[in-house]
Every structure is written in structure tokens, then in C-alpha cells.
């Protein structure tokens, strides 16, 4: 999976990840995968971070590849919002 971290003009971060859960109302859990160079072994290691994103219309389903953007805090753990569904799950 290709990591796409983009900073838009407003300075907000954007991630592309895969939806892992859609069981909450208007909330999805997105797993964002990044690669980082290990400081000692000089090997690239995958890092996965799960973020909760706001999905106003409940349109994203498990397995979809989505784009999420940083926003103001909506709840205690939710400060991302769904901007686009890049690819639907098969």
C-alpha cells in the first residue's frame, strides 16, 4: 500500500488509508500505513496508525480506501473527516 501524506493549501494534513470499522454512527476507523527508516538497522519498517474520522453520510464501508483530512476536534478522539472514497472494496 502506498503512503500518501499530502499537505493541502490550508496547512491541514491528508492521509489515504483503509477503513477497518464502520460500526459507529457517522464515524469510521481508518488504518493509515506509513514507512519509517529504523535509526539503528537502516531498514524501512511499516507503521500503522488508526484514526477515527467523521463520515457524515455513513457511505464508507469496511475495506474501502479513503482520503481523510485533519479538522477541528469533533469529539474526544475524532479530529479527522472523510473527504473522498478513493476505491471501493471488492
For the chain, the domain total comes to: 1
The answer to whether position 1 is within a domain reads no
- Say how far apart CA 34 and CA 44 lie, in whole Å: 10
- pLDDT per residue as tens digits for the range 16-56: 999 999 999 999 999 999 999 999 999 999 999 999 999 99
Give CA–CA dist 24/29, Å, rounded. Answer: 9
Across 75-83, average pLDDT? 96
CATH code assigned at 49? 2.40.50.140
Q: Which H or E element spans position 81?
A: strand 78-87
Q: The whole model's pTM is what?
A: 0.84
**What is the band of 7 on the pLDDT scale with cuts at 50, 70, 90?**
low
- Domain limits at 72? 6-87
Amino acid at each position: 500500500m502506498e503512503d500518501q501524506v499530502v499537505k493541502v493549501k490550508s496547512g491541514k494534513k491528508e492521509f489515504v488509508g483503509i477503513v477497518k470499522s464502520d460500526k459507529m454512527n457517522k464515524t469510521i476507523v481508518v488504518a493509515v500505513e506509513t514507512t519509517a527508516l529504523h535509526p539503528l538497522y537502516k531498514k524501512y519498517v511499516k507503521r500503522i496508525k488508526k484514526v477515527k474520522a467523521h463520515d457524515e453520510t455513513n457511505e464508507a464501508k469496511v475495506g474501502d480506501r479513503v482520503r481523510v483530512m485533519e479538522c477541528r476536534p469533533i469529539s474526544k478522539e475524532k479530529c479527522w473527516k472523510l473527504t473522498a472514497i478513493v476505491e471501493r472494496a471488492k
